[in-house]
Amino acid sequence: MSGGVDIATAAPMLPVGSPVTPPPNGEPVSRYFHQSPEHYAASFAAIHKMRQNTQLCDVVLKIGADTIHAHRVVLASVSPYFYAMFNDDLVEKLQEEVTLHDVDAAALQQLVDYSYTGEILITEDNVQVLLSASSLLQMSSVREACCKFLMRQLHPSNCLGIRSFADAHACKELHRRSHRFALQNFQEVMGTEEFLLLPFSEVEELICNSQLNIASEEKVFTAVMSWTKHDLAGREQYVAQLMHHVRLPLMARDFLMGFVDSEPLIRGNTECKELLLEAMKYHLLPEQRSALANERTVERRAEGMQPYLFAVGGGSLFAIHSECECYSPQTDRWVPIASMVYRRSRSGVTSLGKLLYVVGGYDGASDLASAESYNPMLNKWTAITPMGTKRSCLGTCSFDGLLYACGGYDGASCLSSMERYDPLTGVWTSCPAMTTRRRYCRIAVVGKQLLLPTGTEENHEHCQDGWATEGYNLIYRTRSTNMCKGSKWKKGRGE
């Protein structure tokens, strides 16, 4: 018909006045991308439901008398072990029923469930079988989760067992963490059943480590003796080899003579007696300690040790205190610690090795010669041998394994004398006196020198085996291992 309209190709018509919504950008949309965030979860939930109903399952896993229905494609997608089994030229590729060995049935059931749900519950009861099974099936995410769980479970009573388990399954980070934990908590670890059951090689690995965290070397000796006597017949052969890693020269003389020398396992072994003799020479010949130095004379230093600030004693017009506090820069907090044996102010304080030493001072009635040491690991103060002279307002420092106390006030006059303390022998020894009496003096260690700022001009003076003056600062220069004899005190400008 002339002027007619082809109905099939005609555009739809809207009634006049009908509202029209324009495209968002003002132009027609040629395509639209849609993504459903619930798709994967919903799909796997449906597949998991089908597995529970044994629908469309194409493989049966058999472990002993237990069977687990599953879908090959799901197992292969999460486990390289199953991927290789179902794709390579293995006999299981075409089998509908696959028998698995060396895997716990309950752990396998949990891992198959995880393949569908992405969820798994790890507990103290199942973590070992889950880690073993996930290692076998190469399910790395579950394996890593098990390792993280065990890291959070580390305790002195189980860290050695976890370390051994980690080593057996090649879990390097878990092994490193558990080994480090054992080193840092050795004083508790050495008293556990796990330690007593360790093989010789693992005991040696622990006690030879310079990062072993201990209050004193005596603890290492005690650990070696305890481990040896737990199975004396089978372990006595290892005593000498283990004692080579025990740092006898760093022990107190009283312990060496009272416990080490009297121990039958030591007295009956030639190598051990030689090690004891080496330690006694180190104690009796302090001027030769540099020449006698070896790996057994090096102080152990635990990994991760942090600096702390201590405030000890002190006083006011009304009271002298024995209370102490410790400040940690990491936490920005002051916390109370054990009080000193004696109350004191105007004392000398210095650190030496792993201990804090407080010497001399004033107790409100008289000046003091007493001294004591603080062990942070034990939170305990212990009285040590008193000085030969009462001193308050003294200068102190530690140098080359010795503690020095210089000058001060004895209640009647200022002092020029100086003495040093050897913590290995527990003995104070007099040193050459200064040329001038001083109190409130301070000593600093600079390189291989002790430096004493005087603040006054003095005559130029030199003296071998004594004090000398030169400029503004007093300097002690060491020419040999002897700190007093064969050495020289000198005054310099403290540059």
- Superfamily of the domain at 309-442: Kelch-type beta propeller (2.120.10.80)
Q: Which CATH number fits domain 40-153: 2.60.200.20, 3.40.50.1970, 3.30.200.20, 3.30.710.10?
A: 3.30.710.10
Q: Is the fold of 40-153 the same as that of 309-442?
A: no
404 and 396 in contact (C-beta within 8 Å)? yes
Using CA atoms, how far residue 27 sits from 17, 23, 32, 53, 350, in Å, is: 21, 6, 13, 50, 81
Please return the burial class of 353, using the count of CB atoms within 10 Å of its CB with bins 0-12, 13-18 and 19+: middle
What percentage of the chain reaches a pLDDT higher than 90? 62
Specify the pLDDT at position 464: 35
Averaged pLDDT of the chain? 85
Query: What's the pLDDT tens digit per position in 184-205?
Result: 999 999 999 999 999 999 999 9
Q: Does residue 304 surpass a pLDDT of 90?
A: no
**Of the given ranges (114-123, 147-156, 397-406), which has the lowest mean pLDDT?**
397-406
* Residue 5 pLDDT greater than 70, yes or no: no
pLDDT value at residue 19? 54
DSSP of 38-75:
THHHHHHHHHHHHHHTT-S--EEEEETTEEEEE-HHHH
Mean pLDDT computed over 87-115: 88
CA distances from residue 134 to 60, 80, 104, 129, 257 in whole angstroms, order as listed: 19, 11, 10, 8, 54
What's the pLDDT tens digit per position in 400-451? Answer: 889 999 999 999 999 999 999 999 989 999 988 888 888 888 887 777 777 7
**List of E strands, 197-354:** 309-312, 324-328, 333-337, 348-352
Half-sphere exposure of 218 (CA within 13 A, CB side): 14
Q: For residues 415 and 396, is the Cβ–Cβ distance under 8 A? A: no
Confidence tier at 302 by pLDDT (50, 70, 90): confident
pLDDT at 48 over 80: yes
Position 47 scores a pLDDT of 87
What is the full DSSP assignment across 150-172? HHHT--TTTHHHHHHHHHHTT-H
Q: Residue 24's CB: how many other CB atoms inside 10 A?
A: 7
Residues 6+ positions from 30 with CB-CB distance below 8 Å = none
CA 404, CA 394: separation in Å to the nearest integer? 10
- CA distances to 105, 137, 481 from 286, rounded to whole Å, are 66, 61, 8
Q: Would you state the pLDDT for residue 21?
A: 57
Give the residue, 134 or 303, on which the prediction is more confident: 134
Confidence band for 206, pLDDT divided at 50, 70 and 90? very high
* Domain range list for the chain: 40-153, 309-442
Tell me which of 356 and 36 has the higher pLDDT. Answer: 356
